[in-house]
Structure 1
Amino acid sequence: MGLKKGIRFITIKSIGQYINFLSYVRPQKAIALSYALFSQPREGRLLKSSLPEILQNTETETFHHNEHHFQTYIWKGNEIKILLVHGWESNASRWQKTLPHLQKSGSTIIAIDAPAHGQSSGREFNIPLYAEFINKAVEKYQPTIIIGHSLGGAACVYHQYLFPNTSINKMVILGAPSDLKTLIDNYISMLSLNTRMFSLLDRNFANRFNFKIEDFSGQKFASQFNVSGLIAHDTTDDVVAFEEGKKIASNWKNSQFIETKGLGHGMHDDELYQKVIEFLFSA
């Protein structure tokens, strides 16, 4: 373990010990701190003055939703519209390698910045809010296709569950987690949090979002889908376990699952994109 990694490891563990201590003396503060660490991205912001090149020559639109605003970027094409939904600590520029493949189809492509990412507002990322952003964009642009990566894929799945009757008829989900419980368990073990903290976090999710951690499951949501889906996940993904992708596919009636090897979490690959295009555009 290098020095930097060692210091990070010690810091993470000591934050965990502090939260565990707080869980007994000041449980509300323990919840606030542990949830903030879980939900606040440290990367992925974009400044308007220094946008990545891929986003510079696009049409942009800023949407307002309650106290939030979020950004979309549009690459104009024909009347077929594809909505792209990125993941954690990322932004709309993550689709740079994907765009040329999709643009061959002539489609209009729209990419969205998640809450607290890119040029969208806020400090906190959560999937229910992301699903609301997606829905505003879907209502406005009427895409027939939605493609989500990582937590963006999870947000697409949740959006489809909440809003089953939209313009969307095909979904592509890349390297996405199925179960919130898996994410929380990983987080708890990373910080070495005590079991008391799991029940405090569970209560926090129930109060804020009206669901228990174990009920938030892409596997459960997908069992209700009528749209057709393509789920792809890499066996070497060290961010989201391969099994998570299989879970989402397992209950989704009209779906196909693609297992890739050696692409990691990023899932950028010409051969995979070829399969995505075939799924989207061959009858």
Structure 2
Amino acid sequence: MSPIITKIVAKALGLSINLLSYVAPAKATALAYRYFSKPLYGKLKRDDLPGILREAQLETILHNGGNFQSYIWPGNETKVLLVHGWESNSARWKLLISYLRKAGCTIIALDAPAHGLSDGKEYTIPRYAEYVNVLIQKHQPNHLIGHSLGGATVLYTQAHYPNPYIEKMVVLGAPSELTIVLNNYRKMLGLNKRIFKNLKKHCTDRFGLDPMSFSAAAFAKKIDVPGLVVHDREDETVAFSEGMRIANAYTNAKFVATKGMGHRLHDDRLYNRIYTFLFNEEDEVSIEEIA
């Protein structure tokens, strides 16, 4: 779908929700939350998996009345757990996996709720973090790598389920503040003040946490595991300032600012940097540029 058509559809949906909010506010709020939390892309078919996932050992794990999909590429005793972002799936790690394999390590990945082969219709960071924590307890990985909302999820996971197994973390292109995500959603749909207020309350009830307090930067403050925070200056999805906010709060992390890689952050230079961070001795530089 082209950006223009996507924008038109979003505005039409927002108009419908706004009109509904005057006659059925509860239904309008539920509809607004549904489109906020339900991904449109990222699902996979088990009989048509990308090649990189067909190379893995697949395991479907039951948890809290649902199930999620995990993938394992066996290797040595060093283990890396990969956590993808919104409207994606574990196949997004194909290029990075080729670098991690050079270290001979065991690579583990999972599909987020309502993504890939995992079930569900709703994506939330707390639910995703439960899945990540299940795999951490099961496999005891040494390193965590998360992209976009997956980056925010690994920060949430380590802050709420501190795991002694984790030695290093990599956070790629992650958003920091839930309020910013909500405001971007509001602008995209053109939601009115009435429905936006109700949506924030619904998120509070759903997460058990005020959106004003739901912050990846706040989670990062609680973490002392060495980290690498990466954000592109030209990220069109998550503002560069969001990455800076996380890096400033994450006192034991180094910050890598890239340019021209966009939000996806697929680049040989960056993957080499991640490899060095995880498997080689580190220098004392705290802020780096990859352009």
- Common topology (TM > 0.5): yes
**For residues 5 and 100 of structure 1, do their structure 2 counterparts lie closer, same or farther at Cα, with a shift above 3 Å needed?**
closer
Q: Give deviations 1:87-122, integer Å, cap 9, x for gaps.
A: 111111100010111111111000111100111001
Q: How far is 1:6 from its partner?
A: 4.1
2:244 — aligned with what?
Answer: 246
Letter of the 2:135 partner, please give it: A
1:47 — aligned with what?
Answer: 45
Letter of the 2:139 partner, please give it: Y
2:84 — aligned with what?
Answer: 86
Letter of the 1:145 partner, please give it: H
Could you tell me how far apart the structure 1 residues matched to 2:204 and 2:55 are? 42
Partner-residue secondary structure (3-state), 1:171: strand
Q: How far is 1:166 from its partner?
A: 3.6
1:170 — aligned with what?
Answer: 168
1:276 — aligned with what?
Answer: 274
Partner-residue secondary structure (3-state), 1:84: strand
Q: Choose which of 2, 6, 12 in structure 2 pairs with 1:8.
A: 6
2:132 — aligned with what?
Answer: 134
Moved more, 119-128 or 22-31: 22-31
Could you tell me how far apart the structure 2 residues matched to 1:10 and 1:120 are? 30
Moved more, 33-42 or 20-29: 20-29
Q: How far is 1:26 from its partner?
A: 1.2
Letter of the 2:154 partner, please give it: C
Letter of the 1:237 partner, please give it: D
CA contact (8 A) 1:78 1:107 kept: yes
CA contact (8 A) 1:84 1:147 kept: yes
**For residues 249 and 7 of structure 1, do their structure 2 counterparts lie closer, same or farther at Cα, with a shift above 3 Å needed?**
closer
- TM-score using structure 2 length: 0.93
CA contact (8 A) 1:172 1:231 kept: yes
**For residues 67 and 275 of structure 1, do their structure 2 counterparts lie closer, same or farther at Cα, with a shift above 3 Å needed?**
same
Letter of the 2:33 partner, please give it: Y
Q: How far is 1:11 from its partner?
A: 2.5
- TM-score using structure 1 length: 0.96
Structure 1 unaligned blocks of 5 or more: none
1:106 — aligned with what?
Answer: 104
Could you tell me how far apart the structure 1 residues matched to 2:114 and 2:164 are? 25
Q: Give deviations 1:224-264, integer Å, cap 9, x for gaps.
A: 11111100011111011111111111111100110000001
1:184 matched to 2:182: yes
2:115 — aligned with what?
Answer: 117
- RMSD (Å), alpha carbons: 1.3
Could you tell me how far apart the structure 2 residues matched to 1:133 and 1:163 are? 11
2:72 — aligned with what?
Answer: 74
1:259 matched to 2:290: no
Partner-residue secondary structure (3-state), 1:165: coil
1:97 — aligned with what?
Answer: 95
2:21 — aligned with what?
Answer: 23
Partner-residue secondary structure (3-state), 1:96: helix
Partner-residue secondary structure (3-state), 1:10: helix
Could you tell me how far apart the structure 1 residues matched to 2:117 and 2:273 are? 31
Q: How far is 1:4 from its partner?
A: 5.3
1:203 matched to 2:211: no
Could you tell me how far apart the structure 2 residues matched to 1:282 and 1:146 are? 16
Q: In the comparison of the two structures, how many residue pairs are matched?
A: 281
